[in-house]
Each structure stands twice: as structure tokens, then as C-alpha cells.
Amino acid sequence: MKSHAKAVVIGGGVVGCSVLYHLAKAGWTDIMLIERSELTSGSSWHAAGGFHTLNGDPNVAKLQAYTVQLYKEIEEISGQSCSLHLTGGVMMADTPERMDFLRLAHAKGRYLGMDTELITPSEAKAMFPLMDETNFVGAMWDPVEGHLDPSGTTHAYAKAARKLGAEIVLRNRVVELTQEVDGTWNVVTEQGTVKAEHVVNCGGLWAREIGRMVGVELPVLAMEHMYLLTEPMPEVEEFNKSTGREMIGVLDFKGEIYTRQERNGILLGTYEKACKPWSPVNTPWDFGHELLQPDIDRIAPSLEIGFKHFPGIEKAGIKQIINGPFTFALDGNPLVGPVQGLTNFWCACAVMAGFSQGGGVGLALSNWMVHGDPGFDVWGMDVARFGEWATLRYTNAKVRENYSRRFSIRFPNEELPAARPAQTTPLYDTMLANNAVMGDSWGLETPLWFAPKGSEPKDIVSFHRSNDFGPIGEEVRATRERVGVTEIANFAKYEVSGPGAEDFLNRLMTNRMPKSGRIVLTPMLNEFGRLIGDFTIAKAGPSGGEDRFMIWGSSAAQKYHMRWFEKHLPKDGSVRIHRFDQTLVGLSIAGPKSRDLLQKLVDVDISTKAFRFMDFREMAVGGAPCMVNRITYTGDLGYEIWMAPAYQRLVYNAIKEAGEEFGLVDFGMRALLSMRLEKNFPTWFRELRPIYGPFEGSMDRFIKLEKNDFIGREAAAKEQAEGPKLRRVSFIVDAADADVMGDEPIWAKVGGKDYGTVEKPHGYGAPRFDAGGNEVRGSNAAEGASAVRGIVDGDWRVVGWVTSGGYAHYVEKSMAQGYVPAALAENESAGLFEVEILGHRRPARINVEPPFDPSGEKMRT
């Protein structure tokens, strides 16, 4: 074993081997993988080996598609077969709601170039005759699904990596990790110490323990998982013989079941409701190539549904039940990337679908390590997406919830209950008493909307407009016409101070920093000129003679942004950065009467001239020391008021009392988001993400290329000079009873013109076939299915995608934001665009100016 390496990858499961392969392929050959036992000694060896491309996050779906396409490459390089069976598969819907879910997934697939198709239950049965199709209302066919040999695949990655120069050390446990002052890692193993520049945690079942070696509690938990294998079945053999094909994979939402052919029999796995964590606190180091005791009682309810839906399987004898552990993060997606607060410590763990995702994870992580950027939008699997609140017990509750709902629909207005409430503000009980429906905002309870007195404060979950529609409309109208108050504790808040603060922020941000007492809005870019942040920054009065800036940003991006800030902090200590989290909370008042209301609570002049739009001031509000921004996300006259939690009740009560004469209402986060829509304001992680440039994001006025050499300036200048390829636009949609939720395709009537924004189908997948084994192309016969398959329909073409939207209550319009080719972005013509909502293409029109207060006069008065 060598004593030095550029990077050490810990763990020889499918993920570690993929990371090793991708690092070697990217040109880092001075790398080694250290494995405690043999390759595949964690969860990889007993996997069912299924793979698919579908994922709730389109960006993760893209990486899954990459993984599947990669298998041929590693087979060729390594000479090792993965035993790939590209059979295709179907997802079966048993209710109209599940069919809506499939329509959404199918529509999303369009701009990803996925070749899915909505089909009837009978068409699905033709490819998997063991089902009773009368249990289902429809299905979605995905040609890029199948199964492989987990061990062969892991070894194929490993052999390919070795061929490219990587070293693999087996039977050698990493027992300790320490870091030198210069950043070098000491990887202490049973066979000695390796000095490494970078360490990657691919510990799978032991990833949590490896995290603890460096003082980090990763939100990952292993769950027991069972699948059964039947004896050979004559029906299967007969089907193979008569059609010349293998049976396809089937996913049954109702039963939380997946099933497929395995040799001459069937494999059937369950995500049972009564799920069980494995080793919830510590994973034993001596756990090896072992299986856990099957517990048939636990999966009996799922099997009961399974045998009803697939009666052909019930008759078969069960040959074996496999029960093995594998890991999950809170939302079921992996934990990938550099860990905030550490240098050159990387994660690629909690990969619950290693054979769908392992390749994509390896590619993104190796890009990140070698080139400084993952090269894709990997927010959906970024290790920074969870905060300190994701403790061991929180993780346990959330992972169990996620596992038991693995194939359940998550409605766009659905809040999940496990591990809540976690964090609350001092107003939590008051908000409940006000009949607030609360939501989870990065671990913090936040009012979403207020149910009418006497009614139960609860969402009726739906893909369509629901019971919050009326009350949110009331909140919006009262705020727009009088005044409203809302909690904004869930914003991220930071303070940057020190003699170097202004230079530091000027280097990071695209806009000029404000003068004392003023506010600016500013994006932040990475070196490649892509959007990685969007902030409100105020310059506070100097403290102890030093500059002090207050920064507000996206709540969910706190660790993501801290990681970036810390990476760029000057080494001389001239800049300090502090994240407040919930040690600073806030309230926002907005609407034409908000100034009159605030004036009653302060002892200084806040008239238009004395306290201008985009001013910042420290002042007492209702007797409490506060910071006040004259700005609001509603895009109206309004204020954000920030205070220590100990003062929040005092300020809120004062606002409520003073507001009575103005007809003050409480409004929630959903009303706030509705109001921002009618101002065409973007949101971080929806409209603004690292896949877009600042001019694509239509953030032009905040990009000051001439100010100084900020990070990403050169790339932004290039984007401006060449012209952005895409533009963010706002649409008014002729919707019926459902608004957009995000990720819907945008169609345009562009004739034969190809604007080149949508990826072409990858053309890699199994053909769909009928009961006779003949290939079928694109009938889309399912009831209510879109008649169109793919991304072109006559003169119409998918040219972009929706990022977010909803109903803009004050202007009474359904609105959507999204990206389209720049050449189309200013075309307000009717009849040019359609947005596909739940399988129905609805007319849509670009609205260049915001429909509410287009001149911005109201917010400036």
C-alpha cells in the first residue's frame, strides 16, 4: 500500500468504485480505494439490481439516465459483464390521482428527453401477464428500466478504474481520520497511514461512522429491506418462449411493490409501512456478507395487495426471502459533495439506488473534486441541503417516513408530519391559535395560510386548487388593499463584518455594495458564471469602527452558501461571517397602510423621504430593538422587521394592536409567494439555480460588469456579449382548476424551427411490445392521456420548462415562470405558447411587465 495519494476513497461498494473510476477517468490516477473487507461487502452485494431513470427531481433523473447509459462503457473498458437486462418497465396507477402523478412525470420527461409513454392497464398486462389489470386505471411505460448483476457491475467499475491507474486495497479498515494544519489528511488504516489531499466517504452502511471520525453527524440511516424470489414459474417460461422476450419490471404504487422477472421466476420487493431501521445508532464493524432474518409478518400487508394485483405470482412457491440493510437520507436522495466546515472532505453516501444513481454520483463528485464544480445541478443530492436540525433522532423519524412512502404520491401542497415540530419561533403557539396551517421550512415551523375560524386548519392534498385557495385569496386582497403581517423567520440571515468585509462581498457579488443605511439586491456567481445565490444586502452603521453588512438569502441554502463564503474568506482574518439561523427572527408588514401602521410603533420619521425604498435602519419598533428594511417580497409598500427571538412576541402584539384600525390581517407564506408571482419576482432554487447564467435568469440590472473583478465576471461578460441562450420569463396561463407546480413542459408553435433547448431522446431503451411480442410505438391509449409522445407535435415543439408558478390572487391570473429560448422571450403573442398541466396543454402568453404595479410605483411611494 502506498503512503501518499491525491485522493483516498473509503469504501468499495458500487458508489466508491464508481467514484474511483470517474476520478481516474478525469485524469487523477494517484488515487486509491480502501475497503474494509472485499468489494461489495456492504449493501451492494445483496441488491435486487434494478435500475430506472425516473426521479422526482429532474436533475437527479438526468444523472440516473447517465448511469444507465454508462454500463456499456465500463463493460467495454473492464471486460467484465454487468449482466444488463434492459427490459423496460411500467408504473401502475390504481386511482385517478396516481394517474395525474404519472401524467406529471410523463410531462417532465419530455424536456429531459425521456421516452416515456402513458398506456392502458391491458397494454401493461401484455408485457407482464401475471397482473390482474382490472386493479389499475392506467400506467406509464419507461423504456430505460431493467436489472443487472450488482456484484458484476461493482467489479466492472473497479476493474475499469484499475486499468486507468487507480489502486484498490482490500481487507483494510480505515480506523481514524485526522488533518494536519496544512490540510493534509492522515487516513489511518489497519495496514498503516496514508497521507491524502482529499478523502471521500463512500462508506455506505458505515458512512455515518466515517462522518463521526471527522466530527460530523450525517443524516443517513440504514433500513431493513426485503424482496422475495419465487421458484421457476411455467407462466414465465411460457411467456419467454412465446414472445421471445423477458417480462418487464412493474412498480405498483398501491402495494408499494416492485416486481420483475428473475431467471425463470419472479422477484418481488416491498417498501412496507411497518418499516424497520437497522443499527439505528451504531453500525457494527464486524457486519459482513450477511443477511438479516426475514420477517414475513412485516411485509404481509404489502404481499396481500401484491397477490391481489399480481395473482399469477401468488401461486408460485417462494424460493428465498432476502432481507438486507441499505441507507437513506431524509428525502431518499444521496448525500454528495464537500462537507461544510471541513477542507477536502467529500461525501458520496446515502445512495439508496446505487445501480440507478451510482454512475451519476461518481461523475458529479469527480467533476467537483477535479474541476471545482459538479457540472450539473446537483442541489437535490447536495450534502449541504440539510441543517443541524437533522439530528440522529430526527433522521430516524424522517427516513422511516420516507421509506414507508417510497412510492406514495407527494402532492404539491402536502406537508409531511414526521419529526415535527422541530424548530419553532416564539410565535408558534400564537400562530396555531390564529388557525394557521403550518409548514416545514428547513426544519422550522412556518405559517403557510390561515384557515377560517371554526374550520380545521388542514390542507386537503391535491394536484388541483384546494381548500387553501379561498383563504389565500382573502389574505392577498386584504394585504394589497390594506395591510398584512407575516412571519419571515425562515429567511437565511448572515452578518459579514471586519475591515475586509466590503472587498470580500464585492469579490463575491455581482452588484455594487450599498452605502451605509442602504440595501441592494445581488446575485452571486460561481467561476463558470452560473447563478449560485441571490441576496438582499444592507450596510449597517459601523460597529466599533468596522464595516458591517447584513445579508438575507434562501433558508434552505444556508449550509450551501456558508460553504462558499468560508471557501473564499481571506486567510488574514480581516473578514468575519456569522450565520444567525434562529437567533434572529422576523416579521414583514406589507400593503398601502403599512407605513401608517409602522409609524405608530416607532419614534422616528419614516415618511417617504425620511425612510426611502431600499433604506435600512436600526430602530425600536413597539419598544423592541429591531433592524428594518424598507423592502418586501410582496412588491408593494412594506417592511421587513428583524429582531432577537425574545422580542418577537412584543413586536407582533404591537403590530396587531396598532393594525386594528387599518384592518390588518395575518398572511402566510403561500400568500407571499402568490404576491411575488404577480410581480414576476424569481425564487432561489426554482427560477434561480446553478444551471442558469445571470442574463438567462433575467437578472441583468443586478450585474455590474464594470464594478470590479468579481467571481464569474468573465463568464458573465461572455454570456452578455454572446447573448444568453435562454431567458427566464413569466407567463399568464389559461388554466382550469389546476395551476402549474413546476417542471411542466412549455410548448411553442415554432413550425420546423429548432431552438435547441430541449435534449433529444437518448434513444437508448427497450422497445414496448404487445401480447404477441410485436413492437408497439406510441399509441398512448390511456384514458385522458396526451395524444402526443415526445417533444415535437406538428408545428409545436417543447422549448422549455416551468420553474414555478401558481395562482396570482390579486390580479386573478394563473401564472408560471420558466425558461424559453431567448429568441422567443419577448414575444407576447397569443397562440404561441402552451403549458402542459396534468396532461392538458393550456394556452399561455408571455407577460414581459409584471401584472401588478408594473412601474413599481407602489413600492416606492
Q: Under the rule (CB under 6 A), what is the footprint of ligand FAD?
A: 10-16, 34-37, 41-44, 46-51, 173-174, 202-206, 210, 225, 227, 322, 324-326, 349, 351-356
Q: Which is nearer to ligand FAD, 206 or 491 (CB)?
A: 206
**Is residue 173 helix, strand or coil?**
coil
Q: Which is nearer to ligand FAD, 33 or 478 (CB)?
A: 33
Q: Could you tell me the three cell numbers for 242? A: 412465446
Q: Which is nearer to ligand FAD, 222 or 397 (CB)?
A: 222
What's the closest the beta carbon of residue 208 comes to ligand FAD, in angstroms? 10
What's the closest the beta carbon of residue 102 comes to ligand FAD, in angstroms? 21
In this structure, the number of other CB atoms found within 10 A of the CB of residue 53 comes to 27
Q: Which is nearer to ligand FAD, 23 or 732 (CB)?
A: 23
- Contact between 222 and 209 under an 8 Å Cβ cutoff? The reply is no
What's the closest the beta carbon of residue 338 comes to ligand FAD, in angstroms? 18
Picking from 653, 650, 782, the residue whose alpha carbon sits closest to that of residue 133 is 782
Backbone torsion region of residue 423, taken as left when φ is above 0, otherwise alpha when ψ lies between -120 and 50, otherwise beta: beta
What's the closest the beta carbon of residue 202 comes to ligand FAD, in angstroms? 6
Measured between alpha carbons, how far is 596 from 427 in angstroms, rounded to an integer?
Answer: 24
What's the closest the beta carbon of residue 207 comes to ligand FAD, in angstroms? 7
What residues contact residue 437 under an 8 Å CB cut-off, 6+ apart? 447, 448, 449, 450, 451, 457, 458, 459, 468, 668
What's the closest the beta carbon of residue 776 comes to ligand FAD, in angstroms? 26
What residues contact residue 554 under an 8 Å CB cut-off, 6+ apart? 491, 492, 533, 534, 561, 683, 684, 685
Measured between alpha carbons, how far is 128 from 141 in angstroms, rounded to an integer?
Answer: 12
Q: Which is nearer to ligand FAD, 148 or 641 (CB)?
A: 148
What's the closest the beta carbon of residue 328 comes to ligand FAD, in angstroms? 9
What's the closest the beta carbon of residue 742 comes to ligand FAD, in angstroms? 26
Q: Which is nearer to ligand FAD, 325 or 668 (CB)?
A: 325
Q: Which is nearer to ligand FAD, 7 or 202 (CB)?
A: 202
Angle at which helix 150-163 crosses helix 14-25, to 10 degrees, equals 30
In this structure, the number of other CB atoms found within 10 A of the CB of residue 700 comes to 11
What's the closest the beta carbon of residue 223 comes to ligand FAD, in angstroms? 8
Q: Could you tell me the three cell numbers for 538? A: 444592507
Q: Which is nearer to ligand FAD, 205 or 785 (CB)?
A: 205
Q: Which is nearer to ligand FAD, 71 or 685 (CB)?
A: 71
Q: Which is nearer to ligand FAD, 216 or 781 (CB)?
A: 216
Q: How far is CA 33 from the centre of its chain?
A: 29
Q: Which is nearer to ligand FAD, 15 or 383 (CB)?
A: 15
Cis peptide before 745 (omega within 30 of 0): no
Q: Which is nearer to ligand FAD, 202 or 419 (CB)?
A: 202
- Contact between 511 and 700 under an 8 Å Cβ cutoff? The reply is no
- Contact between 183 and 2 under an 8 Å Cβ cutoff? The reply is no
In this structure, the number of other CB atoms found within 10 A of the CB of residue 748 comes to 22
What's the closest the beta carbon of residue 41 comes to ligand FAD, in angstroms? 4
Measured between alpha carbons, how far is 354 from 164 in angstroms, rounded to an integer?
Answer: 22
Residue with cell 461525501: 347
Q: Which is nearer to ligand FAD, 158 or 352 (CB)?
A: 352
In this structure, the number of other CB atoms found within 10 A of the CB of residue 728 comes to 22
What's the closest the beta carbon of residue 325 comes to ligand FAD, in angstroms? 6
Q: Pairing state of beta strands 345-349 and 192-201?
A: parallel
What's the closest the beta carbon of residue 211 comes to ligand FAD, in angstroms? 11
Q: How far is CA 736 from the centre of its chain?
A: 28
Measured between alpha carbons, how far is 314 from 563 in angstroms, rounded to an integer?
Answer: 52
What's the closest the beta carbon of residue 401 comes to ligand FAD, in angstroms? 19
Q: Which is nearer to ligand FAD, 171 or 458 (CB)?
A: 171
Q: Is 569 exposed, middle or buried (0-12, 13-18, 19+ CB in 10 A)?
A: middle
Phi, psi of 837 (to 5 degrees): -110, 120
What's the closest the beta carbon of residue 76 comes to ligand FAD, in angstroms? 21
Measured between alpha carbons, how far is 821 from 693 in angstroms, rounded to an integer?
Answer: 13
Q: Which is nearer to ligand FAD, 351 or 378 (CB)?
A: 351
DSSP result, 572-605: TS--EEEE-GGGSEEEEEESTTHHHHHHHH-SS-
DSSP result, 250-296: EEETTTTEEEEEETTEEEEEE--SS--EESSS---TT--S--PPP-H
Half-sphere exposure of 485 (CA within 13 A, CB side): 25
Measured between alpha carbons, how far is 721 from 702 in angstroms, rounded to an integer?
Answer: 16
Q: Which is nearer to ligand FAD, 380 or 659 (CB)?
A: 380
**What amino acid occupies position 767?**
P
DSSP state of 700: G
Phi, psi of 793 (to 5 degrees): -140, 95
Identify the sign of the CA torsion 819, 820, 824, 830. negative
What's the closest the beta carbon of residue 292 comes to ligand FAD, in angstroms? 9
Phi, psi of 857 (to 5 degrees): -65, -40
What's the closest the beta carbon of residue 432 comes to ligand FAD, in angstroms? 40
Q: Which is nearer to ligand FAD, 356 or 441 (CB)?
A: 356
What's the closest the beta carbon of residue 726 comes to ligand FAD, in angstroms? 33
